[in-house]
Amino acid sequence: MIKFFLMVNKQGQTRLSRYYEHVEINKRTVLEAEVIKNCLSRSKDECSFVEYKDFKLVYRQYAALFIVVGIDQTENEMAVYELIHNFVEVLDKYFSRVVSETLNLLQNIFSLSKLGGSVISENKSKEKNI
Amino acid sequence: MPAPIRLRELIRTIRTARTQAEEREMIQKECAAIRSSFREEDNTYRCRNVAKLLYMHMLGYPAHFGQLECLKLIASQKFTDKRIGYLGAMLLLDERQDVHLLMTNCIKNDLNHSTQYVQGLALCTLGCMGSSEMCRDLAGEVEKLLKTSNSYLRKKAALCAVHVIRKVPELMEMFLPATKNLLNEKNHGVLHTSVVLLTEMCERSPDMLAHFRKLVPQLVRILKNLIMSGYSPEHDVSGISDPFLQVRILRLLRILGRNDDDSSEAMNDILAQVATNTETSKNVGNAILYETVLTIMDIKSESGLRVLAINILGRFLLNNDKNIRYVALTSLLKTVQTDHNAVQRHRSTIVDCLKDLDVSIKRRAMELSFALVNGNNVRGMMKELLYFLDSCEPEFKADCASGIFLAAEKYAPSKRWHIDTIMRVLTTAGSYVRDDAVPNLIQLITNSVEMHAYTVQRLYKAILGDYSQQPLVQVASWCIGEYGDLLVSGQCEEEEPIQVTEDEVLDILESVLISNMSASVTRGYALTAIMKLSTRFTCTVNRIKKVVSIYGSSIDVELQQRAVEYNALFKKYDHMRPALLERMPVMEKVTTNGPAEIVQTNGETETAVLETKPPPSGLQPANQANDLLDLLGGSDITPVIPTAPTSKPATAGGELLDLLGDLNLTGSPVSAPAPQIAQPPFLLDGLTTQPLFNDIAAGIPSITAYNKNGLKIDFTFERSNTNPSVTVITIQASNSTELEMTDFVFQAAVPKTFQLQLLSPSSSVIPAFNSGTITQVIKVLNPQKQQLRMRIKLTYNHKGSAMQDLAEVNNFPPQSWQ
């Protein structure tokens, strides 16, 4: 199950965050700061899966943006890795480049395509129509 | 009031902020504007304001004042309002707020709305944050929607059902009929969510699992279509058709096939097909292969398939991509227990991974390497692991060191190799070695008798240069203390003997004592070692005396105590000194997790290392004995300790510590040469492997100690030749009634001058009609040869009622105690 989904820029500022389990606001900032620190400090040679507390982080870097997904132990890390890529491709097709101003719509896409922490529609054209 | 700014402008403004403080200021200003706008109850701009609020919430600022506004938006008729309202509800509300219950009615109406998008929104929201009450109320609606033909709604309903089941597991049966047709859909979205729903149901309830096993053929067919079908632009991801669905189906197959032969058999073909046909050039293919491998490992697959899976993992290991290597190592770790030989084939690759740069990969490779060590490859593996220990990050060193010790203990080809390996670990990672390793090492060294000279020589050389690594110094001081004479005499077969004088040895030990780097425990070791050398060395005894007396006034209480006692040894009890400080005997093998029982042997010399004081097992019998004490009412009866004599040595040591006070025990236990581990000194001979009843005096008549209500207890006696103060009594309890006696407990108490030990009885049930007996052994120590008296207490269940009786036994034959 996906626990959370973060988009973070290189300076460490959260651009988008979506939690699928309840986490208090102040805990969220702490969590984000730690997670980001973990991922930013890794070099290119290291693998994209990190163990953090009791879940695993899968992260991927796209130019200046990091996408980090927290998953629990039962999830297939590589499938999630693909999911991130798929998601970015959708964004890419829909908006000419991934921009923060459209985050509102992003949230909508999120809620509709990743209901309850599971992926329901990886169909790209469908996602464009939402 | 001017129209509130749009979300886009807000985002643009915030992005221009340079510092955190500036950003906060902007946000606060905007929040104030939003709040006043809410107060004005402005319908037109409400949606815009809430959108801005959500953005600010995402950045981490509190936005709870917008919750009611979200509800108002949900209630409105406009779709855009509803959309933002539901989004806000999902983000801002959850079951902890009371406000959320107000939404229930709205959601209910919207679930029956004419527009599918509105229904979809409602389903999404319910599926995200529905509380158990909401779920209970609305489950019926969700179930209805699960059966519609509209695939857009169906898939959302399925995931909503997953959430409902998570919140209220009792409702699972309600969704069962709806699941019948779910897998017949063509739409991948619906298929995917249905598989998720089925997975969730199967995970939660074993009955459901059994019920859904019949779906295995259908799932296999769907998977086959996915693989075989040609290119379909809708579902394609890098050349593979809908990999996410494939992975999901594989996972469901895994759950269904676990522990079930039939299902596993049905799956074998398709798994083999997936494994061989999937393209591995892209990550997608690898993801599918990974899931396949996990599934193969979990179900009862045939061996050919398993070997195929492990080969896939082996191929992964050779891949350049780190992610894949990591995933392969994790899976191999899971399977190494069951398919050990297959994994061995990939050993060299795994060992290579130890040299990888990535921390996660290194850790996995290390764990896997330890799992793969066996008798044949231990030398090679150890070399690699020691090299790894040298170069790895500090966080690994402790685990690696413990792992090496364990592996070396199990598979050491020779004692010398074992000791060399340990030395190497101590010198490279000395400070990271766990505390319990030190006693284990000491025991190991003691047991390899022929290596003593070699060991002590190497240890001496090791600490000569550097005595900062505490475990190393501790082991070294202990060895030098024990085998100092071998060191000085320069005998060593294995290596070139070095010339060391007694003074040099003492120099090193003293510097350990003085050094700031030494921990308190280490200093204790060093002081004891110096003391032991007083009997091994010949010309430096005076120096030792001086050192010991200096520490009599040390600030460290532990050191002070030791020094004072050793001083006393020199002064008042010099005649005992050689016996006390004798060479340690060979210790019995204890498990690596055992507490520090090992070093309890010479309680006098190793008292400080005794970390565990009398274990609590001594407490419980004391409680039982207390009742006897009450009843016997005399102060001349000592309580009985039925079994577990482990409390004894510590007390024996404790009394000996009291050298300056009265010695309560007589001379005999103290000077008992080389007492055994965890044995009370006086019962030494009784509890060794020698048979108990060999050395018997001429037959002592047995007595009937008790005979009432059909219960008869006989005592038979034996005296030990080796220790005349010990009498061994064997009791036999028999039952002549027609019903058996259960829960039989025998307790005994003796006068203070005696000591008593009860061993475990043979059973607690006495069968009826004298058809069997309970036997129990009692040992009595009677150093003062007084007349033996005993009070016994019997408790048992007979004829359904609990019985209890007390009696005194006075008819002991004189031969039993004289």
| Residue of chain B minimizing CA distance to A87 | B237
Per-residue tokens: B629: 């004490």
pLDDT class of B769 with cuts at 50, 70, 90: confident
What is the average pLDDT across B523-532? Answer: 88
Query: Other CB atoms closer than 10 Å to residue B399's CB: what's the count?
Result: 16
Mean pLDDT, residues B137-149 taken together: 86
Contact A118 B159 (CB under 8 A): yes
Q: Residue with structure tokens 């930013």?
A: A40
The per-residue pLDDT for B618 is 36
Q: Which has more pLDDT, B407 or B498?
A: B407
CB nearest B188 (choices: A46, A50, A123): A123
Q: Is B712 on the interface with A (CB under 8 A)?
A: no
What are B596-655's pLDDT values in tens digits? 333 333 433 443 333 333 333 333 344 444 444 444 444 344 444 333 333 333 333 333
Rg (CA), chain A: 14
Query: Which residue's structure tokens are 């896939």?
Result: B312
- Could you tell me if B250 and B301 are in contact, meaning their C-beta atoms sit under 8 angstroms apart? no
The closest of B229, B216, B160, B217 to B188, measured between CA atoms, is: B229
Q: Which residues of chain A have pLDDT under 70?
A: 45, 94-130
All residues of chain A having their beta carbon less than 8 Å from the beta carbon of residue B361 are: 47
| Helix B415-429 with B452-465: angle, nearest 10 deg | 10
Among B339, B421, B333, smallest CA distance to B370 is for B333
In chain B, helix, strand, coil percent, each to 5?
60, 10, 30
Give the tens place of pLDDT for each residue, B61-105: 888 888 888 888 888 888 888 888 888 888 887 767 777 778 888
Interface probe for A, chosen from B293, B360, B361 (most Cβ of A below 10 Å), is B360
Confidence of residue B207 (pLDDT cuts 50, 70, 90): confident
Q: What is the mean pLDDT of residues B39-63?
A: 82
Task: Please check whether residue B188 touches A, CB under 8 A.
Answer: yes
Reported as a pLDDT band with limits 50, 70 and 90, residue B504 is confident
Q: For residue B193, which amino acid is it?
A: T
Say what the pLDDT of residue A122 is.
43
Both tokens of A72, joined, read 């629990």
The shortest CB-CB distance from A78 to any of B87, B188, B287 is to: B287
pLDDT given for residue B722 in this prediction: 67
Q: Can you tell me the mean pLDDT for B415-432?
A: 82
Kindly report, residue by residue over B639-695, the tens digit of the pLDDT.
443 333 333 333 333 333 444 434 333 333 333 333 333 334 443 333 333 343 444
Name which of B87, B127, B290 is nearest A76 (Cβ-Cβ). B290
Verify whether the Cβ–Cβ distance B323 to A78 is below 8 Å.
yes
B 116-155 residues inside an 8 A Cβ radius of A: 120, 124-125, 127-128, 155
pLDDT surpassing 70 at residue B702:
yes
For residue B311, pLDDT over 80 is answered with yes
Q: Does the distance separating the beta carbons of A29 and B360 come in below 8 Å?
A: no
- Cβ-Cβ pairs closer than 8 A, A with B, add up to 136
Of the candidates A16, A21, A24, which has an alpha carbon nearest to the alpha carbon of residue A1?
A21
Within 66-85 of B, beta carbons closer than 8 Å to A belong to: 83
HEC string of chain A equals CEEEEEEEECCCCEEEEEECCCCCHHHHHHHHHHHHHHHHCCCCCCCCEEEECCEEEEEEEECCEEEEEEECCCCCHHHHHHHHHHHHHHHHHHCCCCCHHHHHHHHHHHHHHCHHHCCCCCCHHHHHHC
| A:30-49 residues touching chain B, CB 8 A cutoff | 32, 43, 45-49
Predicted confidence at residue B268, as pLDDT, reads 87
Name the residue among A28, A45, A104 with its Cβ closest to that of B51: A104
pLDDT at residue number A109? 58
Exposed, middle or buried by CB within 10 Å (0-12, 13-18, 19+), for B142? buried
Q: Does B15 touch chain A (CB under 8 A)?
A: yes
